Amino acid sequence: MVSTPTRRQPAGRQGHRPGSTATKAQPPATLPVRLKQGYRRFWSALEGNGTSRNGSTYYLILGSTLALTAIGIMMVLSASSVESIAAGKSPYGDALKQGMFAGIGIFTMFVLSRINVVWLKRLAYPAIITAVVLLGLVQVVGAEVNGNKNWIDLGGITFQPSEASKLALALWMATVLAMKGKLLRQWQHIVVPAVPMAIVIIGLVLVGNDLGTAMIIMMIAAAALFFAGVPLYFFGIAGLMGAAGAAIMAVTSSNRMCRITSWWTGESCADGIDANYQATNGLYGLASGGWLGVGLGQSRQKYSWIPEAHNDFIFAIIGEELGLVGTVVVLILFAILGAAIYRVVVAQEDTFHRVLAGTIMVWLLGQATVNMSVVTGLMPVIGVPLPFISYGGSALLMSLCAIGVVLSLAREQMAPAMRPKRMLKFKAMGREKTPRKPKTARKRA
């Protein structure tokens, strides 16, 4: 017999046989692959991956809201004390009033967080009718402040119906668009009745000369249509019409044109009015704050350099007294609030839940973005308060009520073990309602 020669394996591959479990070393991921993986991990963490079932989303929304409200009361006290003393008033007056509205708002927030979503739908039509009546009443008996007629005096306490109309419109549009369902692919069902009602609300606010609030309400209406699944081309048409309307409103008002030209050029208007006065001093406050600020209560710009610093320009006082660190903390809290509400939005399967939560998210975060953009000079001066922080009982109360509605939606996603014991006991007793059989079916049975 003649033996056949055997092949020798290379030194580096000795012991490797076909079918063995040895695996080849994976090549290092390229930069585009790493970016793609990081992008997926980011959105996976943002959406929660079921973490809303254990209650984390609920408490993120609640915690960030309470933290922003506490910061707001503290900064209102710091920013308003100087002008209150100069006017012969108590330095704690504005802060105590803000704290009172915060207490009422937090109580209302917890009440709304326990309300069943079915009752929210039933409140939609009474809420929008009340909002329209109050906005019309403002033009009859309303008080005018700084050129805007948007307040009603209730025995020494002023109330701003336009703030209540934001929540009423969000609730009503979510109810109507959920009823429409698949019909929203047709433009007739998109327009009627959601758009006419939004135009009525916006028109009544514009009659009071409050363009800033009208812009936020436009944002709310657009967000409701977007989360309802309206085709994108509709937003292009509406955007062009809105831009044309805003341009007409600006050109026909010398005050608005003065604000725009002062912001664009940095110079005073032809009549000598410096409409950029607040924004300029707000930037001085942010610049002088540095990294850690000049200290709580030590602001210099609040000494009448920024008129009513505790209102729309309170973010500048935060930057001056608490520095960049303080402003970043506020930004992080708003980011946490937005991410938590976004988890609620993406977890919803029902159209009403998704539209309502998404609209409130856009309302609060959009208004905060506009306010901080004005303070930092990225936009012309627009009278829009910073949610939860700026002085104003109506704005704070309605913002907390909106959070209560979102908490009600988030609570439904929680696992049964995380829900209130009263609800578990109710279910254990077997009192939950079950669909009854028709009479004919019972007789046949």
Domain ranges of the chain: 50-415
Distance, CA of 115 to CA of 128 (rounded, Å): 19
326's enclosing H/E stretch is helix 314-346
- Which stretch of 166-175, 252-261, 331-340 has the lowest confidence by average pLDDT? 252-261
Cβ atoms of 150 and 204 closer than 8 Å: no
What pLDDT does 273 receive? 62
DSSP labels for 93-146?
A: HHHHHHHHHHHHHHHHHHHHHTS-HHHHHHTHHHHHHHHHHHHHHHHHHPEEET
Structure tokens at 323: 């520095």
Structure tokens at 407: 């908490």
Residue whose C-alpha is closest to residue 397's, from 121, 79, 157 = 157
Q: 55-112: per-residue pLDDT in tens?
A: 789 999 999 999 999 999 999 999 999 889 988 889 999 999 999 999 999 999 999 9
**3-class DSSP assignment, residue 376:** coil
Between 52 and 69, whose confidence is greater? 69
Residue whose C-alpha is closest to residue 300's, from 283, 320, 323 = 320
Model-wide pTM > 0.95: no
- Which stretch of 91-100, 306-315, 320-329 has the lowest confidence by average pLDDT? 306-315
Residue whose C-alpha is closest to residue 300's, from 309, 223, 291 = 309
How large is the greatest C-alpha to C-alpha distance in the chain, in angstroms?
Answer: 121
240: left (phi over 0), alpha (psi -120 to 50) or beta: alpha
Alpha-carbon dihedral 262, 268, 272, 274, rounded to 10 degrees = 70
Phi, psi of 53 (to 5 degrees): -70, -25
Q: 110-128: per-residue pLDDT in tens?
A: 999 998 888 999 999 999 9
Distance, CA of 309 to CA of 84 (rounded, Å): 12
Average pLDDT over every residue of 313-338 = 96
- DSSP 8-state assignment for residue 14: T
Alpha-carbon dihedral 404, 167, 160, 250, rounded to 10 degrees = 140
- Which stretch of 21-25, 77-81, 214-218 has the lowest confidence by average pLDDT? 21-25
- Which stretch of 49-53, 203-207, 209-213 has the lowest confidence by average pLDDT? 49-53
Beta strands in 247-330 (DSSP E): none
Strand partners, 159: 152
**3-class DSSP assignment, residue 305:** coil
Structure tokens at 358: 């998404």
pLDDT of 342 above 90: yes
Cβ atoms of 194 and 225 closer than 8 Å: yes
**Residue for token pair 């009603």:** 152
